[in-house]
Structures are given as structure tokens and as C-alpha cells.
Structure 1
Amino acid sequence: MENTNINLTIIVPVYNEGIFIEETLESISNQTNSNFKVLISDNCSTDNTYDIVSKMTANDRRFLAYRQETNIGAVDNFAFLIKKVDTDYVMIAGGHDLWDEDYVEKCLLKIMQSDQIALVHGDIYLKDDNGNKDNREVRFFDMAGISDPVIRFNLSMWLGQYHFYGIYRSNVLKSTFIDKKFFGSITVVLCQTAIMGRIVHVKNTVQYFRIRSQKENINERKKRYAVSYHGYKKKTFLPFWKTPFYMVLAAIKTPIYKKKKRVSCRIRLVLSSFNACSKYFDSMVNDVKNLRP
């Protein structure tokens, strides 16, 4: 399935993915729909990630690699790539994940069927670092039949995040808070995506999502997020208190493409957004406890 008009960009932000990146890029390269371009940004990895990326991209004109001179943090590395997207659709690919060979073909065909679809993803299987199946629950919901943005917004607030790595309409992703640095940002981005369109599940094509084998408590996770977001160790003040704020802001500012009853829809979105205080309540309490000397 090839066409001279490229309408999909696959972005791959990476950092220290030397163990998995070759297999990941091969999985992308072997897609049955080869009509796309791939933008890779290495966030100043300290391992051999960029050497592997450079070797592989030299042999495939669809692939273009960048290397940051310093670690700019995961969010800015994402934003760097997204600014370079000039196609109608964009796929976010993790530097350690794999896909069935027909993943791009099936998902791209689905999102092109209707301008009411904002994001498409396939089946999601979890693997640990050794490639073994992980039995943790994957929570997502096919919103193909849900026309109400408020219902989609509320569903996205409480579901998982794995389908963040799917194929978006580029204008939708660029209208989200994808470039903002705050804890819980992926959930907010998915909620914004749900406001702007339907999030659709395509069956019988799989993304194999690698997850961390090492379990961590909430304080360990906050430290990892802080380094990941900023590129260096940074002490954050009440980090999870920002999440409900951005959820409310998303309800206020995200474009609504629904043709009728936009005002009432906006009011319902704003009222629903305060549920984020309930979702993140335990984390917010933990933030306060950590203020104690």
C-alpha cells in the first residue's frame, strides 16, 4: 500500500533506548503501509542509542534522526518533534515498543474514514523488559459510537493511558497541552483529544507496549517524572496539585467541534473537570505530607 502523497509522520522521542531501539525501528520499517516518514529525536542519550539510530536511518530515506546537544527533558523532546510534523496524521511511537506489521495500515484507514475520529489505536499487549507478557489491566474504551464530548471527556479521565501511543489527527494533538510540564499530563492530553473527537479502537492489530519491570512507590515515581520532564533533578512543589488545574483549563480552552449546544457542552465540561480532584486526591494528599520537615 504505497502512495506518493505522504500523510503520516511517526515521531519517536528516545532516551537511553539502546537495548530496544533497533527492534523498534525495524518494527516500524516493516509495516505493510510504508507510506510515511519517521522523525526520531535522541534526547542526548548516554548509551549507544544514537549510534544505532544513525546506522539504521542511513539506509532508509523515510527516517530522519536528530540529536539534542543536552538533555532537554521528555516534554521538550516531544514538542521538538511535534513542531516538525507537517502531515495530516501523526503517530506517537515509544522507543521500546513493537507493532504488528499491519498496525499502521489498519489504524490509518480507520482514522481517515471520518473527521469525527481524533485518535485511533489497536489492541494493546503489555510486556516486561524481558519480553514476557505482563498481566496488568489495560483500560480503554472504544468511543466510536459516543457523540457527546462530555461523556468522552469523563471516560478518558478515568481510563488508562496506553492508547496515548496511537495515530492522531495532527491538528488535534497540536491543540492539546502536549508541551506543558505537569504530572498527569498524558491523561489531560487524552481528555482534550476526547473533547475534539472520538477515540477509536481497531481490533486484530497489536501494539506491544513495554513497561517497567521494577515497581515503584509514589515518591519514587514523582522523582522519576521530575527528571524525565525537565532533564535534570528538580524539586517540585505540590506537583499533583497542578493536574486538576490543567484539567479545568482543558475543559475551558479545548476546541469543541460539536455543532449544536456548544455553550451547555462547555459548562458541562467545566463542571466535570473538577472530578480530577477526586482522581488525584491521594496523590495530592501525599504532596502535602511531603512538605513536612
Structure 2
Amino acid sequence: MNREAAPKQAPPLVRVTPAPVSVGLPVYNGEPYLGTALEALLAQRDVDFELWIGDNCSTDGTEEICRELARKDKRVHYRRRERNLGSTGNHNLLVREAGGRYFTWAASDDAYEPDRLRKMYEALVGNPDAVLSFTSARQINAEGQTIGRWHNPCRTDHPDPLVRLRDLIGMRHENYHCYGLYHRDVLLRTHLLPPVKNNDRILIAELALYGRFTEVREELLLHRLHDRRLTQSVSSRDWYRTQRTDRKSIVMPNVEEAGWYLRAVTGAPLRRQEQVLALLALRPWLRENAAPMARNVARAVIDGARIAAAGRGRAGHK
């Protein structure tokens, strides 16, 4: 007997495209402030986003906090790394894991005002030639009390990339631009964060050669200053021992930074003449770091001699 085929159930509606905004939160033992940071992020209003958490093998309660949140909120994607990638490796992997057209890094000890993501998103969408949007900030202490304010002093919206670079290199400023919202495809064309301590400044200087920045002049970022911050507790030389994974025997932090600034300029989409002028714009940094670079080289010579002597000693005992 012929029977009519049972009507097929429609497949459940699933999201086939990522949210337009991806937030990447790298964390290692962030338990003291992580709950506050996550609460502020997930309370963002009127913007479609996903949160990607990269846990660098935390040993405190970070994993439990994040897994519980991911179970409750479908916007949250939690990844526990198989090994500690170092701070730089974890930051950069998040950029590649996320799928949104726009990307921002969030710190596990910071907080946002509820409209920060939306306003950065609208600013970037409304300025098609911009590659980054960012906001002003309030600096808060460990208890969340306001202790300072930050407003951008640099001409990062100038149409000339050399003006943008000169200001970012030559002016003294806190580099809170790095907490802004990036065009992810442009960000992926850069070297991302290089494996040196002041890598955020190098990245922002490089990005400024790709396009101008647009600013939301409202204090929507709450940046926490406290003694446990990685940049406060780790020297440039210690960074290599605690954060890098290449385990170099001889370390020249300032020389390496100079090399990454040179790569940033030579890899940027500039005409030949602009590239030469951009290299000249690095002079303030090079002057300021000339003595530290000389000390790097001198110490490298001494360290190299010690390593060579130790190698000969081991060979003589065989």
C-alpha cells in the first residue's frame, strides 16, 4: 500500500555566519578581576558580538569560571590551550580563531561601559577608510576607583600615514589605541603582536601605515592599573624567559624591537618615497634607544663568550 512520505522536519535554525564583532580575551590566572571583566563584556548593548576566550593553561579558578559561562551563554567560546603559548602567542591566536569582520582584544582585568562596543562598531562602519576605532578611557585602581583619565594626543585620524606614524613614535603617550576595534582583515595583514615586550606600540605604529584611526571621545574603557599587571611585573629581559617560547640563549630586547619597527615599515603598503620617510620617522625612537641597544650588544658579546667557554668545557670532559 502506498503511503505518503512523512513531511520532513525543518532543520533548526543555526547561525551560518559569525557575528560581525569578535572580542578576544586572552587570560592566564585572571581570577581576581575576570568576573568583573566578563560581566561588563556580556552586558554590552545593541551590538552583535561573540566572545572568544583563550586560556593559557591557568592554574587558578579561571577555567571553571569560563566553562560555566560558556555553558550559559552561546556567545562565549572557551579554548584552553594545550600548552602555555606565552602572552603574545595567545593574543595572536585569538585573532586567527575569531571569525568576525571586526576584532578587539579585551583584558581580563579591565571593564567596559555598556555602549563601548556599539559605539566603536558604529564609528568604524561609519568611516570606511578607517582601520581602527577606539575610545577614551578612565584609569581605575584595584578597587575600581578612578585614578586618572586618558584621551588620545596623537593625530591618528590624519590622512597622511607619515603624520600618524610620527605622532605615535615621537609623542609620549599611553598606548590605549591597542584596545580598540580593528578591521580584522587589515589586522591580519600586519605582523600582529611581535614577540617583544612593547609589542602593542609596534603593532599600532604599523597599523597606522595601513589607514587612519577614528576616535570616540568618551571614557568608555575602564583600564585597571594594579601591581599584578604583566607589563609592570616583567622586565624586557625577563619577558623572554617567562613569555616567549623560542628560548633564545642570547637576548637583545631593544635591538629586537628596532628590527620589528623596521619590518613594520618595510612591509606596509607605502610608495618607495613614503617608505624612506617612514624609516626616517623612526629616528626619535632610535635616538632614545641607542644606549640600551649598545648595552644589549655588549651583554650579548659577554653572554656569547660564556656560552662558548661552557661548550668548550663540556667538550673537554668527554
Which of 161, 167, 179 matches 1:155? 167
Q: In the alignment, does 2:71 pair up with 1:69? A: no
Q: Which moved more, 1:214-223 or 1:92-101?
A: 214-223
Which of 114, 131, 152 matches 1:140? 152
Q: Which moved more, 1:216-225 or 1:245-254?
A: 216-225
- Opposite residue 146 of structure 1, the aligned amino acid is H
Displacement of 1:282 in angstroms is 4.9
* 3-state secondary structure, aligned to 2:45: coil
Q: In the alignment, does 2:280 pair up with 1:271? A: yes
Show the counterpart of 2:3.
Answer: none
Which of 280, 293, 296 matches 1:287? 296
| Pairwise CA RMSD | 2.8
* 3-state secondary structure, aligned to 1:76: helix
Displacement of 1:55 in angstroms is 0.8
Cα distance in 1 between the residues matched to 2:116 and 2:231? 34
Show the counterpart of 1:203.
Answer: 217
* CA shift in 2, pair 1:245/1:21, >3 Å: same
* CA shift in 2, pair 1:163/1:274, >3 Å: same
- Opposite residue 71 of structure 1, the aligned amino acid is N
1:224-245, Cα deviation, whole Å (9 max, x unpaired): 4224532698765111111112
Show the counterpart of 2:186.
Answer: 172
Show the counterpart of 1:259.
Answer: none
Cα distance in 2 between the residues matched to 1:13 and 1:133? 24
Show the counterpart of 1:213.
Answer: 227
* CA shift in 2, pair 1:112/1:141, >3 Å: farther
* CA shift in 2, pair 1:284/1:216, >3 Å: farther
- 1:1-293 correspondence to structure 2 within 5 Å: 6-135=19-148, 138=150, 140-141=152-153, 143=155, 145-157=157-169, 158=171, 159-213=173-227, 221-230=235-244, 237-256=251-270, 262-285=271-294, 287=296
1:121-163, Cα deviation, whole Å (9 max, x unpaired): 111111222323334x746336464100011011112432222
Identical-residue share of aligned pairs (%): 20
* 3-state secondary structure, aligned to 2:103: strand
1:10-58, Cα deviation, whole Å (9 max, x unpaired): 1111111011111111111100124111111100011111110111111
- Opposite residue 166 of structure 1, the aligned amino acid is G
Q: Return 5+ residue gaps in structure 2 as ranges.
A: 1-16, 304-318
* 3-state secondary structure, aligned to 1:86: coil
Q: Which moved more, 1:25-34 or 1:214-223?
A: 214-223
Cα distance in 1 between the residues matched to 2:232 and 2:250? 14
Count of matched residue positions in the alignment of Structure 1 and Structure 2: 284
* CA shift in 2, pair 1:70/1:220, >3 Å: closer
Cα distance in 2 between the residues matched to 1:145 and 1:86? 27
Q: Return 5+ residue gaps in structure 1 as ranges.
A: 257-261
Displacement of 1:78 in angstroms is 1.4
Q: Which moved more, 1:126-135 or 1:186-195?
A: 126-135
- Opposite residue 59 of structure 1, the aligned amino acid is K
TM-score (norm 2): 0.80
